[in-house]
Structure 1
Amino acid sequence: MKSWRNRVEISYGALGHNVRAVQAAVTPRRLFAVVKADAYGLGVERCARIYIEAGAAGVAVATVGEAQRVAAAVPGARIMLLGSPLPDEREAVVAGGFEVWVSSREEILDFAHLGHPQRPARLHLAIDTGMGRSGCGPDEAVALGRLIRSQAGSELVGIATHYPEALDPIGSLAQEAIFEAILEGLQPIDQEVLIHRANSEGSILRPPGPCNAVRVGLLLTGVESAEVAGVRLRPAIRWVSAISLVKKLPAGHSVSYNRTYRLTRDSVVALVPVGYADGYPFQCSNRGAQVLVGGRRCNILGRVTMDYVIIDVTDLPRSPVAGDPVVLLGDQGADAITVTELADWAGSIPYDILCGFRGRCEILGVA
């Protein structure tokens, strides 16, 4: 039997609650749950199934492989591919019945050639209103939308754009104006065509305008604050390990590689068998990062190593022993380490932390 030194616990109940809470907040818009990057490290099959069962209209992925995994796990699910697949992947997109963003005349014509009237390629016209990534230029959007409609082998099922920073009111307002002008140029638009521009933050904090769908990913994991604009979310992720060794070290002793940290007092330290090989960020070295032991915060000392972190347990009211639980993310007692907090220590973002879980982490579903 495989032995796990640390595990990521995923609350299926919290994921389902968060879908229902966000869907209630954005109704009548339809919610598409973003499960790219293996559902941000949580498992694309299990998360897609939970989200669809909780009421999501469909899911959005980044790769053809992810789309195929979802299709196998949740037959009949509506699956949207964000961005541009490689040319040799396009046939699999059409064969799988997946919806896909297109940004160019070349893509549209190739997909239309691969489709046919009985099973057309299902295309979302992607418009670059400020992200500088996927999407056609605003000046060509209306012509490309009409091109999709004119092809027997393609169907316009969506019109999309993306906020680079939804919390920037001036930039977002300018993007919305560009997008809405293009929509006017494409009228009449069938009411079944998805019109969508909002990600997690935008879905809650930006006005819906003419949109009838949203794309929500990180928000569903509950890693943000417990309440976002009145939407009450539940944290769905805990990352836990355990103490493997407790020892005493004298004042002045160095801790971890390169002697970047020296103790200023006689100390009790503990080894926790998690390191950057498990996804705990090396960038947290000497950055004030903390873990929870017995519901109390303990500092990580010195550098994060490949297999271990060393923590200061001197001030705990009870001397810990090997086997005592350690929480890297999530709650223990009355306190909690949030993903945003860990990302700040690492100088990164929550997405990067969640996508960093490695093969030595057990991913475990809990109620």
Structure 2
Amino acid sequence: MPKARETVLEIDLKALKHNFEYLKSKLNNNTKILAVVKAFAYGSDANEVANYLQSLEVDYFAVAYASEGVALRDAGVETPILVLHPQAINFKTVIERCLEPSLYSAKIFNEFIAIASEEKQSNYPVHIKFNTGLNRLGFSENDVDYIVSKALETSAIKVKSIFSHLAASEDLNEKTFTERQIKTFKSISKEFSKAIGYQPMLHLANTSGVLNYPEAHLDMVRTGIGLYGFGNSKEENKNLKPIATLKSVISQIHTIEKGETVGYNRAYKSEGVEKTATIPIGHADGIGRQYGNKKGFVTVNGNKAPIIGNVCMDMIMIDITNINCHEGDEVIIFGNHPNASQFADATNTITYEIITAISQRVKRLLIKG
């Protein structure tokens, strides 16, 4: 891969393909794959990632909001797109752009039926979300009769799938809870299908569900973090490849004397003669202030360099006292070694947070392999 000359996020499509094929190998031939590409495809590049996965014949995409689905349609994505958290104000746009809404409450359900009827739709595909223990969004098990009766009253919509979301599938200490969720969802599915008179598509498993609970694969699985190279465990991380590498460069090197300070609020004080380097990336780019004062580190020429002082909006400073390097040299914030999971561990946060936080002002560079 080319050496960075500015702050860039490299996106490796070969790694994406590897992850897709690895996750697919865990499924039987009849189980569909839905790729979650919300939040700019977990901080990478949703348009490029979705179009590449479309070329690999992924079955479905999911986004959080309607605007994300519109952006994918504008980028040429024709694969079905599930909108996981639509708002009623966007329902006309959802229909205009052939997006498929998740309906998770009586209010949202009835409002979409009204808009679909007004727009003279017939059998418009919708997905019904059930809450089985995450307690975030979704109908309860007791709502089955209500949903079915409303759905059968109108020809404007047709329930294409019913689904739920596992709350702790990555934590095997919560296996009993997860198995109870699976059992509850299968019970809901049986009751729903019988009442509505046909079998909607069923999906429940997220990435950790794919890896840990094959009995939850059902008709389709939804994978997000796994596609981007993380399996929510050290063991599975070895089988996946991070698709994103965040790189920058050394802008300037300083030699400071004992007792001199670095950065805002004089947060770092030198204990002797030291060398520091300034890097053009900061909290406006997704490297939060919590990584300052030696909590986080970057890699320069294969060596760990702690972040010193407070993280600035557009810059960080690092200690390079014992590292042979020069202005213009490449700096790795995260990639393969260390990966984003290890970077996030420094402040007890999660991989999801660090990779989705990378600002859109950071240049994306596609590596096609």
Q: Normalised by the size of structure 2, how large is the TM-score? A: 0.89
Say if 1:252 and 1:264, in contact at 8 Å, map to a contact too. yes
Structure 2 SS opposite 1:159: strand
1:144 and 2:170 matched: no
Number of aligned residue pairs: 358
CA offsets 1:206-229 (integer angstroms, 9 cap, x no match): 233472111111111114479755
Letter in 2 for 1:364: L
The CA distance in 2 between the partners of 1:12 and 1:115, in whole Å, is 38
Shift of 1:145: 3.5
Shift of 1:119: 3.5
What are the equivalent positions in structure 2 for 1:123-138 lying under 5 Å apart? 123-138=126-141
Percent identity between the two aligned chains: 25
The CA distance in 2 between the partners of 1:232 and 1:17, in whole Å, is 9
Say if 1:199 and 1:214, in contact at 8 Å, map to a contact too. yes
Say if 1:5 and 1:360, in contact at 8 Å, map to a contact too. no
1:252 and 2:259 matched: yes
Shift of 1:347: 3.5
Deviates more, 1:229-238 or 1:86-95: 229-238
Shift of 1:132: 1.4
The CA distance in 1 between the partners of 2:62 and 2:93, in whole Å, is 16
Structure 2 SS opposite 1:33: strand
Shift of 1:150: 4.1
Gaps of 5+ in 2: none
The CA distance in 2 between the partners of 1:225 and 1:211, in whole Å, is 21
User: What is residue 352 of structure 2 aligned with on the other side?
Assistant: 351
User: What is residue 82 of structure 2 aligned with on the other side?
Assistant: 80
Letter in 2 for 1:111: F
User: What is residue 42 of structure 2 aligned with on the other side?
Assistant: 40
Call closer, same or farther: CA 1:149–1:195 in 2, change over 3 Å: farther
Call closer, same or farther: CA 1:145–1:315 in 2, change over 3 Å: farther
The CA distance in 1 between the partners of 2:364 and 2:177, in whole Å, is 39
The CA distance in 2 between the partners of 1:176 and 1:197, in whole Å, is 8
User: What is residue 325 of structure 1 aligned with on the other side?
Assistant: 330
The CA distance in 1 between the partners of 2:97 and 2:149, in whole Å, is 24
The CA distance in 2 between the partners of 1:73 and 1:157, in whole Å, is 25
User: What is residue 101 of structure 1 aligned with on the other side?
Assistant: 102
Match of 1:295 among 302, 305, 317: 302
Shift of 1:329: 0.9
Call closer, same or farther: CA 1:124–1:328 in 2, change over 3 Å: same
The CA distance in 2 between the partners of 1:233 and 1:55, in whole Å, is 20
Call closer, same or farther: CA 1:337–1:253 in 2, change over 3 Å: same
The CA distance in 2 between the partners of 1:93 and 1:101, in whole Å, is 11
The CA distance in 1 between the partners of 2:350 and 2:217, in whole Å, is 30
CA offsets 1:18-48 (integer angstroms, 9 cap, x no match): 1122112123321100011111121221111
Say if 2:193 and 2:200, in contact at 8 Å, map to a contact too. no
1:241 and 2:241 matched: no
Shift of 1:50: 1.1
Say if 1:205 and 1:229, in contact at 8 Å, map to a contact too. no
Call closer, same or farther: CA 1:7–1:42 in 2, change over 3 Å: same
Match of 2:64 among 50, 55, 62: 62
The CA distance in 1 between the partners of 2:130 and 2:265, in whole Å, is 50
Deviates more, 1:196-205 or 1:181-190: 181-190
Shift of 1:231: 8.0
The CA distance in 2 between the partners of 1:200 and 1:75, in whole Å, is 23
The CA distance in 2 between the partners of 1:170 and 1:315, in whole Å, is 50
The CA distance in 1 between the partners of 2:347 and 2:254, in whole Å, is 27
The CA distance in 1 between the partners of 2:342 and 2:316, in whole Å, is 17
Letter in 1 for 2:18: H
The CA distance in 2 between the partners of 1:95 and 1:359, in whole Å, is 27
Shift of 1:275: 1.0
User: What is residue 21 of structure 1 aligned with on the other side?
Assistant: 22
The CA distance in 2 between the partners of 1:86 and 1:18, in whole Å, is 32
1:153 and 2:153 matched: no
1:169 and 2:175 matched: yes
Shift of 1:149: 4.0
1:194 and 2:201 matched: yes
Say if 1:112 and 1:120, in contact at 8 Å, map to a contact too. no
Call closer, same or farther: CA 1:324–1:225 in 2, change over 3 Å: farther
The CA distance in 2 between the partners of 1:141 and 1:304, in whole Å, is 51
Letter in 1 for 2:33: L
CA offsets 1:46-66 (integer angstroms, 9 cap, x no match): 111111212310100111111
Call closer, same or farther: CA 1:100–1:359 in 2, change over 3 Å: closer
Shift of 1:240: 0.5
Letter in 2 for 1:133: R
Say if 2:258 and 2:270, in contact at 8 Å, map to a contact too. yes
Say if 2:50 and 2:77, in contact at 8 Å, map to a contact too. no
Say if 1:112 and 1:121, in contact at 8 Å, map to a contact too. no
Deviates more, 1:53-62 or 1:86-95: 86-95
Call closer, same or farther: CA 1:61–1:230 in 2, change over 3 Å: closer
* RMSD between superposed Cα atoms in Å: 2.4
Shift of 1:345: 2.2
The CA distance in 2 between the partners of 1:210 and 1:300, in whole Å, is 43
